[in-house]
Structure 1
């Protein structure tokens, strides 16, 4: 019985539609019909359905579906490719493909093809570390901070990625990436010549997700600063300048762990004599240690000439921070063990210098850069205030990181919020851990102040391109 009622309603609806179609045809005898690639003029019936269907009760939804299928079937038999449904001649129309077996091919623009899609889950867990997607508005200070200089620093890292083979690994132990994973974002980044704060912010918001790093709760860590220290020196050994700055040895025996038997103590006792080039001589093993910690520096000769040092390599021995030795011996605590405090201690206790320094078996070799720049581990010029040294075990080099910590304002322990988009472009022997960073401040008086006195708790959010984060769901366990 119900089926009979449905058929009756369908028949009445068809009759009403046909009547309206005929009246409309009399007023509009010529309509444009698109069929495949050809456009022809024909006398076409434009079906005005919405006003009529509005009178049909919701109980006849199945009848409406049957009517729709019937109309499509008729259109296919008539050779038509599209039906146009409209409530009036001025409304926006919706084109419906009447031939479901025919595919309509479109050619997307390059921008549309590379447009990042927001399809990633909220959380991904890899090796017990959860990467939790957050909004840009949740980043402390994002709305009031500029990122123009951050984009300039990121462009330098992009140049490195674009030169590498697409399959070259550039990730961390936590996040496995290849150079090709950075290409979509980097291809756009390097084409941006004229940058404003607004356009730079738009770029990062378009291509990246900010990711909070979580174990059982959000992770916090310690953030310090480093700089390019200026040290007096000489090209030849003298009574005053008798501590060598070594270049990388070329013919040392390496074992399977890529280390050799020459520790800091062995080197101080002459193990590298005539086996490694000496770039220059300085006056203090403590100053050399801090050159090693910074990974770069400037040696000013008596003539006024400057030698710019860059990190070349190390002996591979485990790094034991001098600060940890002094803390273990009860000389300082973790709050007072600043670079200035360590230097003052050694100045007041010169007889203890060798014994304490030799507990750190790690030793760093340098190269003469021959230009006034500091190079990071990516072999690109570091950007003062925007390049960050990280632990590459956890953080992929080249990644943007939103940092929220504090920096010193004066010697009176005044602190100011420091919230900025940094780029992971360097590493350091003392920079270890998932949430650990060292801000590069450049050279000069202010840089040395910040480099020697910055040591505060904070956190960062890792920026990864949207499509990379989506891929991580295949590497980790999706939890949200």
Structure 2
């Protein structure tokens, strides 16, 4: 039986060139069929998370800047897709998949070839604490200082008491190690001795550059880039209490918190994060609110992993999240979330989804 020879000609793919001295980067339009695992994914919850971002976009004036440094967008660019999203009465897997395929183009990040990056997890830690300083709880969680000029002290200066009576203390917790990782997560729950909870959210920072404690330990030869997980770093610091503060002070950045008065984590778009679907990104590169198709792995047990393919929504940022291919998955709270947040550290790749009319406009620029 004769077979027709397949054509070897290919239609030239449309691209958007991102101009940056730091990266020779292009966004290439592909089809949804080219996204690995797209046909099997659960995108219903992804659409629900996107609708929360849409609530923010639709409250903003069309001229309000919402893009990244390298992808210039305005709130009005999202309005057509968002109006369609929030107008959906009932959401099924089919309607969610159809929505994204109708309104968006998937875009591949390329530097002459597809690039991969690092993907980690974060969570809402649950800590024990007190409203008063005690021998057990002696590390303060500070709110924003009363004067803006008092925000700029380093971590070491703050630990030495420079903010005493200059910034409100929301609560007291066990150790500077707990506080450091609370700052990295950006939110948390403090279980008080009276049985009540305080829900903490990010309020601001001192403006000092962020230094990864993992990198500090790697540079000292104590850990390697393969085993420097959050859990391993915590174990090392807790077992070396005599030098822990000196190591922690290498990170001069310091985060201030606020009492959220509600049991949710709030992202950089000032809306509730969705566990397993909200992604922290570098907003220098990725527009907040944008969907991203993620292909990576996640831990199942300490020595096992499984494929993780999901439509995430860029809804948060973080001091350690830097680069155009870097993400941090919000896992929520509890034992499973803590395990995933402390152990996830995998290579992966994502594709940016932009509304079709936005890509067409950017491609012509």
Aligned residue runs from structure 1 range 335-346, under 5 A: 335-346=226-237
Q: CA deviation at 1:252?
A: 2.6
CA displacement 1:318-354 (0-9 Å, x = unmatched): 0001001000000001000011111111121101111
Among candidates 66, 72, 97, match of residue 201 of structure 1: 97
- Secondary structure (helix, strand or coil) at the match of 2:328 reads strand
Aligned residue runs from structure 1 range 415-434, under 5 A: 415-434=305-324
Gaps of 5+ in 1: 1-119, 255-259, 476-480
The separation in 1 between residues aligned to 2:340 and 2:13, in whole angstroms, is 39
Q: Is 1:228 aligned to 2:127, yes or no? A: no
Aligned to 1:191: 87
Runs of 4+ with >4 A deviation:
none
Contact (CA 8 Å) 2:280, 2:330: kept in 1 or not? yes
CA displacement 1:89-113 (0-9 Å, x = unmatched): xxxxxxxxxxxxxxxxxxxxxxxxx
- Secondary structure (helix, strand or coil) at the match of 2:58 reads helix
Aligned to 1:383: 274
The separation in 2 between residues aligned to 1:396 and 1:276, in whole angstroms, is 33
What value does the CA root-mean-square deviation take over the aligned residues? 1.2
Among candidates 111, 114, 121, match of residue 215 of structure 1: 111
The separation in 2 between residues aligned to 1:382 and 1:455, in whole angstroms, is 21
The separation in 2 between residues aligned to 1:416 and 1:300, in whole angstroms, is 33
Q: Is 1:361 aligned to 2:256, yes or no? A: no
Aligned residue runs from structure 1 range 231-380, under 5 A: 231-253=127-149, 261-380=152-271
- Secondary structure (helix, strand or coil) at the match of 2:39 reads helix
Aligned to 2:68: 172
Contact (CA 8 Å) 1:121, 1:470: kept in 2 or not? no
The separation in 2 between residues aligned to 1:121 and 1:156, in whole angstroms, is 32
Q: CA deviation at 1:272?
A: 1.2
- Secondary structure (helix, strand or coil) at the match of 1:359 reads coil
TM-score, structure 1 as length reference? 0.72
Aligned to 1:122: 14
Aligned to 1:459: 349
- Secondary structure (helix, strand or coil) at the match of 2:172 reads strand
Q: CA deviation at 1:122?
A: 1.4
Gaps of 5+ in 2: 1-11
Higher RCO (CA-CA < 8 Å; seq separation 6+): 2
Larger Cα Rg: Structure 1 or Structure 2? 1
Q: Is 1:446 aligned to 2:342, yes or no? A: no
